[in-house]
Each structure stands twice: as structure tokens, then as C-alpha cells.
Structure 1
Amino acid sequence: MTILLSSVIAVGGGAASAWYALESAEGVGALTVRGWTAYPNAGSPDADPYSKARVAREAELPLGRAEGIAFTTGRDSGGEPLRLSCTYRVEGQVPSARFWTLHVTGAGVARAAALPSQALMRESDGSVVLTASRHPSPGNWLALSGDGTMALVLTLYDTPVASNEDIAGTELPQVLRVGCDG
């Protein structure tokens, strides 16, 4: 009986820890900067086994260090989950990159929305201010549709940030909740 109980605990505990490492946004190999999470080694030969498993499970094609890096956030600057029924103001500096995109992802997203860097108006200091909302907004607008939670993905292509050893010192925009419907 002791052997059976020990085996159940070992297998259950192992499975639970592997699930947590793959599901957690701040899992093994993750780097979090100002609420945005990236896996800098995901597309490199140096990727840890959990990053490789996460990439395989999600059927992703991660960027190599020479190609760029993707930062994801599922929470606003106040720590609340991002919801498709809310309006957000994304503002701040975006690291130097030849090209970048900001897009919405999530199980409840009805229509994928994205903004490329070349289509955005910038502030006089080079920073970006945009509104992510279901409702049209003047200026830079990222249209949201669907229900439930979402995540924002900022992908930087051909950027020195990806190969920089001090990625943690990178300045990224903040996501401020403006209000919610209902």
C-alpha cells in the first residue's frame, strides 16, 4: 500500500509540476520586464526542455535571437487580467527595432487585431500611445472583439534587445485600464 501511495504521489506531483511549468506565464526560461513576459531562448539551441515543450504544444514558430523577440502580457499595469470588454491605453517607449507589431490573442478573441509599427502615429519623443478597445478611437486604435480574457503580444523584429544580455533593463510600454463595458 505504501508503494502504491508513493507512486501516485510521485507521478501526480511530477505531472502537476510539469503542467505548472508549461502553463505559468512566468515559467522556466521566462523573463518578465514591467509586466511583459518573453522567452528569449525559445527559438535558440539553448532553449530549456520546458520552452521546447511549450513551443511544440502551442505549435509556435519562435524567433531566434538574431531575428527578434516577443513579449506578452495578460495583465494591465494594475495587475488585473486584460479583458476584451475593457478599454486600455498602451503608452510608452518601444525598444529599437527595424519593425514591430502589437496584436491581441486569446481564446475569446473573435477577430485577430494587429498594429504594425509603420502604421502608427508617434509622439514627439518617439513614444507610442494607442487605445485598445471595442469602440473606435481617434489616433492609434487596436480593435478588440470577442468575450473573455486576452493577451497583448509585442513582437520586435531585428532588434538589438533580442541579443542583449541585459534584456531585463529594456523599457516597455505600460498597459493602463481606462474603463470597461457593463
Structure 2
Amino acid sequence: MLRTVLFAIFVLAIAIGGGAASVWAVLEKAPLGGTRVKAPWIALPSAGSPEANPYTRARLAREGGVPLGSAEGMAFLAARDSGGALLDRSCTYSIEGIIPVARLWTLHAIAPSGALLASLGRRKPALHSRMVLYQPEGSIAITVSTHPSPGNWLALTGSGPFELVLTLLDPSVTTPGESEMVLPQIVQVGCDG
């Protein structure tokens, strides 16, 4: 009798533990549904729509994310540079190119956990379209580094990997021409040490 009870408890522990581990794996590690890649940027165009799959909704809810609806704009995430290497705070990067037409765009740095990086004094690890200097042809050149840089500088703090989030706030970014949209490149300039 005791052996049967212990066996039942053992089986239940494996079932509950395995179920919890599979939920964690899906919500933490599985790619989000509907992901589109604009190398090196990843987009979730359906995350804020009724078409989003339940795993995407659960992951965004767990992370505290509020996805944009299709009429509001789109957010793009980059965890790698244009060469395919993971973004690291010990390196300096240049974001070069033209940002698609938007009423307002923002660019900020986050930790892989999704938390905003710490500020460097009063300088936040974020920029927006009304505070950057544009090149004569309308392109941008933003330096992303822990070291101060002249011009457009996105200040990083700490060490280890990070990700960039580019948010375009404008209904025109979700039009059928989205597949031809060109996003700026993230070029590694150099690394410390």
C-alpha cells in the first residue's frame, strides 16, 4: 500500500515537473509566433492583433510587454549585429541607414531579460526621432557604446549582451509594402580589450 502511494506521488511529481518545464521552455525559449526577420531586426507584426497565437500573448504578458496594434506601428528587436554576432556592451556599434517613414521612432537598449539598461547619469539608453542629427540625404548614423561619442550617441552601461528595440509609430509601417521595408544596419566598429 505504502509502495503504491509513493509510486503515485513520484509519477505526479514527474508529471507536474515536466509540465512546468515544458511551459517554461515554450514561454522563455521558443521563438515567438509570426516573427519576421529584416536582418538583423526581428518583428512581431501580429503580436498586438487578434491573430497572435496564445504562446506569443502569454510570453508578452509574462514579460509585461504591451504590443502595438497593427494601426499603431511596429517594434523591431535586434540581438545581433548585421554580421550575425551577438550584441555585446564591450563593443562599439554604428547604426547606419534610413529609418522607414514614421511620425515618431524610438530606439532603446535593453538587457536580454527585457529590462531597460541603467542610465549613465542623466543620459538614458534611448533616442527618438526628434533628438537625433540626420545626414543630408535623410539617413542616420548612431554610435552605440559605453564610451562617449560625438554626434548621435546611444549610451550603454554595464557589461554583457544587450538588445536594441526600434519602434516605428505610424500606421504606414504595416501596409502591404512592409516586405520591401529597409531597416538600418548595425555594424560593429570595434571591441574593448
TM class, shorter-length? 0.7 to 0.9
| Of 118, 132, 140, the match for 1:120 | 132
In the alignment, which residue of structure 2 is the partner of 1:141? 153
TM-score of the aligned structures, taking structure 2 as reference length:
0.81
Structure 1 counterpart SS, 2:55: helix
* Alignment of 1:151 onto 2:163: yes
- Relative to structure 1, the CA distance from residue 172 to residue 150 in structure 2 (aligned partners, 3 Å threshold; closer, same or farther) is same
CA RMSD of the aligned region, Å? 2.5
- Relative to structure 1, the CA distance from residue 52 to residue 174 in structure 2 (aligned partners, 3 Å threshold; closer, same or farther) is same
Render the CA deviation track for 1:143-179: whole Å, top value 9, x for unaligned: 1111110000000002411x22342321000101111
* Alignment of 1:165 onto 2:176: yes
For residues 170 and 24 of structure 1, what CA distance do their matches in structure 2 show?
A: 27
Structure 2 counterpart SS, 1:60: coil
* Alignment of 1:178 onto 2:189: yes
- Relative to structure 1, the CA distance from residue 148 to residue 36 in structure 2 (aligned partners, 3 Å threshold; closer, same or farther) is same
Q: How does 1:9-20 map to 2 (within 5 A)?
A: 12=18, 16=22, 19-20=24-25
TM-score of the aligned structures, taking structure 1 as reference length:
0.85
In the alignment, which residue of structure 2 is the partner of 1:110? 118
For residues 154 and 181 of structure 1, what CA distance do their matches in structure 2 show?
A: 25
Taking every aligned residue pair, what percent have the same amino acid on both sides?
49
- Relative to structure 1, the CA distance from residue 110 to residue 14 in structure 2 (aligned partners, 3 Å threshold; closer, same or farther) is closer
For residues 141 and 73 of structure 1, what CA distance do their matches in structure 2 show?
A: 17
Larger Rg: 2
* Alignment of 1:23 onto 2:28: yes
- Relative to structure 1, the CA distance from residue 24 to residue 91 in structure 2 (aligned partners, 3 Å threshold; closer, same or farther) is farther
For residues 23 and 169 of structure 1, what CA distance do their matches in structure 2 show?
A: 30
Aligned residues: 177
Write the letter of the residue equivalent to 1:176.
V
User: How far 1:29 sits from its partner (Å)?
Assistant: 1.6
Structure 1: runs of 5 or more not aligned: none
In the alignment, which residue of structure 1 is the partner of 2:7? none
Q: Which runs of 4+ in 1 moved over 6 A?
A: none
